[in-house]
Structure 1
């Protein structure tokens, strides 16, 4: 059963200007692995984290660096890799599966998240378990 839906849209040039003005923001918002990616990819990941917070109904107990958006192969969709208190909050809310879609084009990045309770669907990634970080050679761009 769907228990939450979230969507977020990021203006990539505005995001890039903000990061240039406040570089420490990257450390507060992104994991070390994510910080290796180009800013347009970070804009999409920022949108994904915002969309997740909206799907969860709020940010209580959620920490930005406990959320990583991982790509585990070119033909596989991006997925959430949750850790720490964020993973605990998601589990406590009865969410068993998170669906994530990312895109960026024409200076905009968008993310859409659907949170489901109960068992995992065959084509979705369960949120149980620890942080699953992709290898550095994995593709950096959502498709």
Structure 2
């Protein structure tokens, strides 16, 4: 028996890297920490609403962050949609800007920063009996 030469033992060396695999399968469950497209869309909606409300109020991020007891970096991330807005902060923001918390659940940004008259009308409308609401809506429709 002759001794093995280096070229004969070449097949024993691991020269090649194993084939790469994706981090997760497209059809399998999503790993923690990677947001879904639905979550990203919701983040962008909330981000647009709170940013629009702040701009309409004419307040700088630093002042809002101070009033919330949060950092300006965190507020900036929320307004860009980089980070989700915690529910407690959503409630604080709604109270600060004077709109209903349900608006941050994804409704349009046009109705976020209501003026005092609109807010009074909306509050009165919500407390009216159903028949009075229908009558008022009939008056308001063109």
Look at both structures and tell me which one has the larger radius of gyration over its CA atoms: 2
Structure with the larger strand share = 1
Q: TM-score, normalised by structure 1?
A: 0.31
Structure (1 or 2) with the greater helix fraction = 2
Relative contact order, higher structure (CA 8 A, sep 6+): 1
TM-score (norm 2): 0.31
